[in-house]
Structure 1
Amino acid sequence: MTYIKLEIALPDEYHEPLIAELSEMGFDGFEQRDHQVITYIEKGNLAIADREQIEQLLAGFPGHCFIEKEEVVEDQNWNEQWEQTVGAREIGRFFVKPTWSTDPVPGDKILLEIDPKMSFGTGYHETTRLILKLLPGMVRRDDTVIDAGTGTAILSIAAVKLGASRVLAFDTDEWSIKNARENILLNGVDTRITVVKGSTEVVPATMKADLLLANIQRNVILELLPDFIKSLKKGGNMVLSGLVESDRADIRRRLSQDARVIDIQQENEWIAIHAQAKK
């Protein structure tokens, strides 16, 4: 079977957003190396329009270099290859690692075992790291939490390990739902986390959360923000990420009517906004 191989030189912090976009286009496998993403797609599934779309997509990432190669490659487990490039790392109070990592867990860290499959939220990206670093100061024992766009469920699992008693996690992507459930079982927190496919419509009207987490992109956040506010208790906290510095003013403006911004954390150009619903 003939596959098109794309080699993209790209700073590490942009790998996960790029992989997310390419997976939506039908690319089947990814390898992450230092400053490089390698991906494959069956030759018949890549049209001229797709090539133009990829060029436009890459134009939005700084410092990219696009190399295309056509090769005859045997069909293989692309996900397995990609997974093996994901290692362990310390993020704030957490130690995030896949099951295949043999790295010892530091004694002062909370273990999060995350096998990413093809969902996103491994801890490699700034948006995930920003929220993980904020969570210990926000989650209180017996809190109710909503995790919007859960991905691998890393944030849900972290919230429970910090003391949350109930988490409702949702995502519109079937891969993410499957992966989230696997990771929840892996971490032994399945009695406290419910994963549902869908968006804010799956949140019961009677549910009022102490904390809402949303690591998704700007346009989706703006669209769902009224629903997020409705799902929070008065004085409830919300962390919004998947945002860049240029989104700061627009998000603050949209929040101003129903919530107040408590803190904004930044790593490179990515930001996470901690807001509190008005009492």
Structure 2
Amino acid sequence: MSYIELSLQIDLDFAEIMMAELAELGFESFVETEDGLEAYIQEDVFDDLTVKNMLESYAERTAISYSFKKIAKQNWNEEWEKNFQPISIGNNIYVRADFHEAKPDFLYEIIITPKMSFGTGHHETTSMVMEHQLTIPHQDKKVLDVGTGTGILAVLASKLEAKYISAFDIDEWSVENTIENVALNNAKNITVRLGTIENEPEEKYEIVLANINRNILLQQIPAYKNFMTEGASLVISGFYETDITDIQAVAESVGLKKVAQLSKNQWASVVFKS
């Protein structure tokens, strides 16, 4: 199977949200570069016009240039291993791959092999959600992880002693990767599936996590509310500080109240309570 490689030059602050946008268009693997990212999609599902329209929609927000070329399938994991470095989030969380040295001094050590799925903790949106998680009691709680990516948020929820975590994603690559990362972290209480919020089985959760992007959040926050118990926490990210007003308006329209906020490099993460 041949692939199309998108070589994208863009401000690095846009890299993760761009990966989210491209994933929705069928791109299944990503490599971050010094000036943007490279993204890969199977040739038979590549829609040239749709991708170009999405990219051009960001032209007013940041300088952007791109090119496409056809390539043979690569060993994505080998490429990723050349670039991935372990990171710490605050003083409590250490995220590494299985080939990195362990650091037992950290309270929570998470092993992640992303296989190009986004969500390694390196981007501000992921790290902020994880920081919020540390402030929310998880013990014996049920957690819903929307758009799980690598499963990193679900794994942290498990380490924070959540009773049960349901994690899903629309991307097969992410689902396979999450299953692998759940096993690497010996998390026995995480269920992983392929799908969307629309076909999530009816259940109520004390914590809902959604690190996606602005447009999807604006559409789906009312749906998240339906899965929340009274007093539940909704932790969201994947948008800019300038988007908070719109995000908050939608959340308040369904009875949610903002209780916490973090910002890093113009990215934002907000916690709402039902």
Q: TM-score, normalised by structure 2?
A: 0.84
Q: Distance in 2 between matches of 1:42 and 1:227?
A: 31
Query: Residues 142 and 5 (structure 1 numbering): CA distance in 2 closer, same or farther, change over 3 Å?
Result: closer
Query: Which residue number corresponds to residue 94 of structure 1?
Result: 93
Among residues 204, 219, 225, which one is paired with 2:221 in the alignment? 225
Query: Which residue number corresponds to residue 129 of structure 1?
Result: 127
Q: Give the partner amino acid of 2:210.
A: A
Q: Distance in 1 between matches of 2:31 and 2:167?
A: 28
Query: Which residue number corresponds to residue 17 of structure 2?
Result: 17
| Correspondences of 1:90-169 after superposition (within 5 Å) | 90-92=88-90, 93-100=92-99, 102-105=100-103, 107-169=105-167
Aligned length: 272
| Correspondences of 1:10-49 after superposition (within 5 Å) | 10-22=10-22, 30-39=30-39, 49=49
Q: Distance in 2 between matches of 1:228 and 1:51?
A: 28
Query: Which residue number corresponds to residue 193 of structure 2?
Result: 196
Query: Residues 54 and 103 (structure 1 numbering): CA distance in 2 closer, same or farther, change over 3 Å?
Result: farther
Query: Residues 157 and 246 (structure 1 numbering): CA distance in 2 closer, same or farther, change over 3 Å?
Result: same
Q: Distance in 2 between matches of 1:182 and 1:50?
A: 32
Gaps in structure 1 of 5+ consecutive residues = none
Q: Distance in 2 between matches of 1:194 and 1:10?
A: 35
| Correspondences of 1:228-247 after superposition (within 5 Å) | 228-247=224-243
With 76-85 and 139-148 compared, the bigger mean Cα shift is at 76-85
Structure number with larger C-alpha Rg: 1
The C-alpha deviation readout for 1:223-275, integer Å capped at 9, x for no partner, is 22222112111111111111222221122122224121101111122111101
Among residues 239, 245, 265, which one is paired with 1:249 in the alignment? 245
- Residue 42 of structure 1 deviates from its aligned partner by 8.4
- Residue 22 of structure 1 deviates from its aligned partner by 4.1
In 2, are the aligned partners of 1:139 and 1:211 still within 8 Å (CA)? no
Identity across matched positions, percent = 33
Query: Which residue number corresponds to residue 266 of structure 1?
Result: 263
Q: Secondary structure at the match of 1:235?
A: strand
Query: Which residue number corresponds to residue 84 of structure 1?
Result: 82
Q: Give the partner amino acid of 2:238.
A: G
In 1, are the aligned partners of 2:28 and 2:117 still within 8 Å (CA)? no
The C-alpha deviation readout for 1:76-102, integer Å capped at 9, x for no partner, is 3244313431211011221111223x2
Q: Secondary structure at the match of 1:256?
A: helix
Q: Distance in 2 between matches of 1:172 and 1:43?
A: 19
Q: Secondary structure at the match of 2:83?
A: coil
CA RMSD of aligned residues (A): 3.0
Q: Distance in 1 between matches of 2:133 and 2:48?
A: 44
Query: Which residue number corresponds to residue 59 of structure 1?
Result: 59
Query: Residues 14 and 99 (structure 1 numbering): CA distance in 2 closer, same or farther, change over 3 Å?
Result: farther
The C-alpha deviation readout for 1:187-236, integer Å capped at 9, x for no partner, is 100x201112222244433x221111111122222222222112111111
Q: Distance in 2 between matches of 1:263 and 1:134?
A: 8
Gaps in structure 2 of 5+ consecutive residues = none
In 1, are the aligned partners of 2:169 and 2:175 still within 8 Å (CA)? yes
